[in-house]
Amino acid sequence: MDLKHYLQTNRSQIETALESLLPRPDAPPVRLNQAIRHSLMGGGKRLRPILVLASADAVGGDRSRLLPFACGMECLHTYSLIHDDLPAMDNDDYRRGRPTCHKQFDEATAILAGDALLTLAFELASRPIDGIDPEVVLTAVRQLAVDAGFAGMVGGQMLDLLAENRKVQLDELRIIHRMKTGALIRCACEAGARLGGGNPSQIEALKHYGAAIGLAFQITDDLLDVIGDSHLMGKATGKDQANAKATYPAIMGVPAAQSLASEQVQSALRCLEPFSSVADPLRNLARYIIERTN
């Protein structure tokens, strides 16, 4: 399979769905609407919704029925970027090569755009899915809330802020990233398997797959900050080092971090062994995650 073409087709399917699920462009408050669209429709890999759809495919589910849930995960991811970029947090001016939400609009609008996207995520995630027991949908919504909240993404961002400017060991860094970026990536795979109608062992396998690629993804992000091209990345590189931020390459060195990322990809591939070629997109995605350049 041609992964590049697969990703393009998926992105375009997700962006069409997002457009149809968002409030109409002229719906008031227009400023809030524009801020949401600025951040949500300004590019991005759409990794989390693609993982939802690819995981549903892997268990023989009907991906078209999962588009609202998948788009909800992208809304949730985008909210986290908007809030993380705020002056009180990481204070970033650019994201994906464009001004961050609070630079393009203002802080109050950016805070509210994030809040609106987080809330919209749950509106989309809690839509009924034809052929799927509502109890299963409810479980997926609850899991999404756990992985996005105190014990997941939000808690991880807090731990990350608390770790600034002090020495962090590898164990602590892994906890931070398991929560901050890992939880939502794992959740995307688990939810896709569950809402695609997978059986418990399939759901478990794709959850572990997601955990492994989530870690590989974060290590690669850190590596790209050290060795990446700021032009391709659409954001400043070398920032982690300038901020004395704990990263995998900073703690382990670049070669050991690269090895750890590769090991995680191997581990992710082993989780897919029980699956036929329907899981090939997930296999290719796992390899792509550490080979990407942005």
Q: Which residues bind its own copies (CB under 8 A)?
A: 23, 27-29, 31-33, 36, 79, 83, 86, 88-89, 106-109, 111-112, 114-116, 118-120, 122-123, 126-128, 133-135, 137-138, 141-142, 144-146, 148-151, 154-155, 157-159, 161-162
Residue 159, beta-bridge partner list: none
Minimum CB–partner distance for residue 266 and its own copies (Å): 31
Is residue 72 within 8 Å of residue 121, measured between CB atoms?
yes
Q: How many degrees, rounded to 5, is the angle at CA 261 between CA 255 and CA 267?
A: 135
Q: What are phi and psi of 275, to 5 degrees?
A: -95, 150
3-state secondary structure 230-279: HHHHCCCCCHHHHCCCCCHHHHHCHHHHHHHHHHHHHHHHHHCCCCCHHH
Q: CA 216, CA 45: separation in Å to the nearest integer? A: 16
Q: Record the tokens describing residue 229, joined without a space.
A: 């091209």
Nearest residue (CB) to its own copies, 49 versus 249: 49
Nearest residue (CB) to its own copies, 197 versus 249: 197
Of 5, 6, 32, 36, whose CA–CA distance to 281 is shortest?
6
- Give the three-class secondary structure for 262: helix
Nearest residue (CB) to its own copies, 27 versus 170: 27
Minimum CB–partner distance for residue 98 and its own copies (Å): 21
Minimum CB–partner distance for residue 188 and its own copies (Å): 16
Minimum CB–partner distance for residue 260 and its own copies (Å): 24
Minimum CB–partner distance for residue 40 and its own copies (Å): 12
Q: CA 7, CA 47: separation in Å to the nearest integer? A: 9
Nearest residue (CB) to its own copies, 144 versus 261: 144
Of 57, 289, 64, whose CA–CA distance to 189 is shortest?
57
Q: CA 195, CA 144: separation in Å to the nearest integer? A: 12
Q: CA 187, CA 88: separation in Å to the nearest integer? A: 28
Nearest residue (CB) to its own copies, 161 versus 278: 161
Minimum CB–partner distance for residue 194 and its own copies (Å): 14
Minimum CB–partner distance for residue 139 and its own copies (Å): 8
Largest CA distance in the chain: 51
Residue 187: CB atoms within 10 Å: 28
